Structure 1
Amino acid sequence: MKSTFAILFALTLTTLLSAAEPVFLQNGVTAHRGNSGAHPENTMPAFRSGVAVGADWIELDIFQTKDGQLVVTHDKTTQRVGDKNLDVANSTFEELKTVDVATDFRKRHQLSKEECPPQQMPLLKEVLKLIKQQHQTRVSIQPKADCVKAAVSLVKRLNMGPWVGFNDGNLNYMSQVKQLAPTIPVFWDRGADTDLDADIKIAKQRGFEALVLHFKGITPDKVRKIKAADLEPGVWTVNDPALMKQLLTQGIERIYTDEPALLLHLKQHRSD
C-alpha cells in the first residue's frame, strides 16, 4: 500500500511541477518597444498590449540612471519622447519620473490626454514582474549602455531566466550575457551590409541563438546560410505589410515590428 501511495504521489507531484513550467508562444513576432504602434513606446501600456495581442517576445531598451536604477527607454535623453529634456544616465530615477514619456506619441497621433494619459518611464524590474505573471510572452532586453551585469543580476534575483533574452549589435554586451548566464538566449542585431559569414562564425563561437539583420540586407541566400548554421534568422524593424509578406516568403523566422497585431494577422492568414 505504501508503495502504491508513493508512486501516485510522485506522479501527481510530477504533473503539478510540469504544469507550472512556462509554455511560451513560438510565433516569431517581437513587439518592438512593446506594441509601440498603438501605445507610447517602452511604456507599461505598450508592454501589456504586446502580451495581450499575442507576440511571443516583447523587446525593450535599458539605461542605468545616476542612482543606479535600470530604466526602460531607448534614447540617451528624454527629448524625443518626453515633455522635458533630461540626460538619462546623469539623472536620478525620481527626476526621470517627472517626464511624461507619452508626449511624442500623443502629439504625433493628435490625441488628448484623456485618450493618451501621461506615462512615466518604467523600471526594468516593473516590466519583468509584469511579464512573470504570465507564461506565454517573453521579454528581450536591449542594453543601450554598459549595464549588462546589473541587468543579468536583476534577472537572476527575480528568478526570471526562462522569461528573458537579450538583443543588441554590441558584441561585447552580448558576449557578457553569455558569460554571466549561458542559458539566456541572445539575438545578435546586425546591419544590412554586415559580413554574414564572419557573423555566423562569431555567433556560433559565442553561443548566440539568432542573427537579426536590418531588413534592407536580407536575401534568400543569407536566410539559408543562417538556418544552415542552426541559428534563427530575424529582421528589424518592419511595419509595412507587403514587406512582412516578402520576408516571410524568404524564410525569415522572426520579425521585430511596431505592429505585432498586424504581423500576427498576416502569419495567421498564411497558415489558413
Structure 2
Amino acid sequence: MCVGEKEMGKVKVCVIQPPYSVNYTERDAMFQWEMDALDRCDAAMDIIVMPEAGDVPTLASDREEFIDSYQRYNQRFLDKIRETARRCNAVVFANATFVTEKGERNTTYAVDRNGEIVGHYFKQHLTSTECFARKLDCEYSFQFSEPYVLTIDGIRYAFLTCYDFYFYEMFPNLARQNIDVIVGCSHQRSDRLEAIELITRFCAYHCNAYVLRSSVSLDENSEIGGGSMVVAPDGKILANLRNKVGMVTVDIDPHGKYYKPAGFGNPPSAHYQYIELGRRPWKYRPAGSFIVPGDEWMQYPRVCAHRGYHAVLPENGMAAFGAAVALGADEMELDVWCTKDGKLACVHDKCVETGHGKEAVCRMSWDEIQKIPGGENIVLLETVLEKFSCHAVLNVHLKTWDNKTPWPEEALRGVLKLLKKYDCEKHCYLTSGNDFVLQQVRALDPHVILCCAAGDRPDEVVERAIAFGCQKVQFLYGHIDAEQIQKAHKANIACNLFKADDRKTVIKWLDAGLDTVLTDNLTEVQETVKFWKQQNPGKTGMRYAQCRR
C-alpha cells in the first residue's frame, strides 16, 4: 500500500512498549511478549517502532548473558520483524545486535514493506556497560561520520538510540539534513519521565521533525523509564504511553513542518534555521571531523610527533604542529618554559641565542624572547591550544633548569587553567622528569594525566611513576627493556619511548609492548606502526581505557 492510499499525507504510526525485567531468568517471557505484540500489529499501520535491544529483552549483566540472549533470540527476532513488515505492509524499525568482523554492534534495523532489511543505524554513543561489560564494537564511534539518513517511501528518516538522545550537539547536524522523522529505539531506564519528555520534545522542536520513540516499561506505576511517545515538530506530544505496557497508534503527516518568526517581526523559519543565523561555533566545545578521541579512548600503539613535524619546519612552532595534525599524528610533543614574567613559551632548549650571546629562557621576559633572532617562530602554549586543542593528544613537557627546581606554582595553575579553558584536559598529559614538578602537579590536580620522564634517574622511571600516581612513563632510549614495560603495564601505566626514528627500532619495541613512539621521522614511523598493526591485529586497541575509568 502506498502512503497516498490513506488520508492525503497521513500515515499511521505504531509505537510499542514492552515490559522489562532485571531478572535474566524471565527472558523467555519478555521475548514472547515482543513476539505477541508484533503479531497484534495489523495492516492499518504504516510505521512500526520497537525499543532498543529486542534480542536482549531483560537485563544482561555481563557479556556471557548478552551472548546467550543474542544467540537465543536474534535470528527469531529479525525473522519476526521482517514477517511483520510483509504481513502489515508496513515499515518496521527495530533494534537488535548486528555482527561485524570487529564484533557486535548495537543496531537499529530498517525493514521496508516487502520485508527487506534496507538499512542499519549503529548507535553512536555507547555506554560504558556496552563497551566494557558487553564488550561491543565501539571503534567506529571514534571516527567522523555524517548523520545516517535513510529515505523510504519518500520519507527521510534519521536515527537516535537511547544514550544518543543526551548529546544535544547532534541535533543541529541532524536538522541540517532536512529530515522528516527521527526514529528513537530506546531504553533510558534511569531517567524520569518528565526528563525524557523534555529531551524528546526539544529534539523534535530543534530538528523540525517528528520523533517516534519506543522504550520499555519498568513498571506501570514507575516514574522512571518508559516514555514511548510520538512528538510533532512543534514539540507537542501526540501520544505518550508513559510507563504503560502495550502499544499506541497515531496518525501523522511526516512531511509536516513547524515554522515560527526568525526573531520578532521576521519571516517564519524552522527553529534550527533561526539558530543558524546567530551560531558562534568558536564559543562551544571543540567538535567536528578534525577532533580525535581523547587519551582515554585513543587506540594504542601511537605515534607522537616530537616538537611537531620539525623535520622541515621550525620546532615547537605553529607550522610544525599544523603539519603534524594534517599528517595525522596521534600525539604531538611540545616543550614549555615559564618565562620570568610568567608566560608559557614553547621552547626546547634551556638557553636561546639573543644575538649578543645566550640567555636562559626562564630569565627572559616574553617581549625579550620575541625580539631574538627567530623569535617570531616561538609561540605561547595558549596559542597552540587555541588552534589545535583536541586535534591530537598533546604531550606537554614542562621544562626546568634542572631536576631539582620546582615550577612557579602560579604558572602551573596557569597551565591547568588553559587546559580547562580550551577543553583539552582529556586530550593532554603533562610530562616531566623532575620529581618536584610531578608532585606539584599532582597536588594541584589529582585528575590530570601525568607522565614521568627519565630525569636524573632514568632506570627508576617506572618506580617513580608509580610513586607519583602517573598514568604514563617516558623511557629514554638506552634505558628501556621489555621487563620494565611489563612492570609498567602491570601497574596500568602506558609506556612512551623517547625516541625512535627507524623501522627496526620501532618494530623491536612495539613487539615488546611499547605504547607510544616519539619520533622526529613522523611519516616513516607512521607507516611502520601502520604495518605493525596490520601484522598484529590482536595487540592493538584501547588497552588502558577501562582501568582509567
Structure 1 residues 43-81: Cα deviation after superposition (integer angstroms, max 9, x where no partner): 1111111211212211111112232211110112213xx
Structure whose residues are more often helix by fraction: 1
1:227 aligns with 2:502: no
Q: RMSD in angstroms over aligned alpha carbons?
A: 2.9
1:245 aligns with 2:437: no
Structure whose residues are more often strand by fraction: 2
The aligned amino acid for 2:198 is A
CA distance in 2, matches of 1:52, 1:174: 31
Structure 2 residue matching 1:78: 3-state secondary structure: strand
User: Is this contact kept in 1: 2:308–2:332, CA < 8 A?
Assistant: yes
TM-score normalised according to structure 2 size: 0.41
- Match of residue 336, structure 2, among 54, 59, 62: 62
User: Is this contact kept in 1: 2:307–2:320, CA < 8 A?
Assistant: yes
Structure 1 residues 171-204: Cα deviation after superposition (integer angstroms, max 9, x where no partner): 11122222222222111112697444xx434423
- Match of residue 168, structure 1, among 432, 441, 466: 432
CA distance in 1, matches of 2:355, 2:327: 29
Identity within the alignment, %? 23
User: Is this contact kept in 1: 2:476–2:497, CA < 8 A?
Assistant: yes
1:122 aligns with 2:122: no
The aligned amino acid for 1:152 is L
1:187 aligns with 2:461: no
> Aligned pair in 2 of structure 1 residues 67, 29: CA closer, same or farther (>3 Å)?
same
> Aligned pair in 2 of structure 1 residues 201, 87: CA closer, same or farther (>3 Å)?
closer
Residue aligning to 1:213: 475
User: Is this contact kept in 2: 1:189–1:211, CA < 8 A?
Assistant: yes
Structure 1 residues 194-246: Cα deviation after superposition (integer angstroms, max 9, x where no partner): 444xx434423422111111121222222222212211122102222221121
Structure 2 residue matching 1:55: 3-state secondary structure: coil
**Runs (4+) off by over 4 Å:** 2-5, 9-13, 19-22
User: Is this contact kept in 2: 1:191–1:217, CA < 8 A?
Assistant: no
Cα offset, 1:150, TM superposition: 3.1
Residue aligning to 1:106: none
Matches within 5 A, 1:131-210: 131-132=388-389, 135-145=390-400, 146=407, 147-190=411-454, 194-196=458-460, 199-210=461-472
User: Is this contact kept in 1: 2:397–2:432, CA < 8 A?
Assistant: yes
CA distance in 1, matches of 2:351, 2:355: 11
CA distance in 2, matches of 1:188, 1:168: 6
Residue aligning to 1:92: 365
Cα offset, 1:90, TM superposition: 2.6
* Deviates further, 251-260 or 145-154: 145-154
TM-score normalised according to structure 1 size: 0.78
> Aligned pair in 2 of structure 1 residues 269, 217: CA closer, same or farther (>3 Å)?
same
User: Is this contact kept in 2: 1:192–1:215, CA < 8 A?
Assistant: no
* Deviates further, 68-77 or 155-164: 155-164
User: Is this contact kept in 2: 1:86–1:96, CA < 8 A?
Assistant: no
**Structure 1 unaligned regions, length at least 5:** 102-117
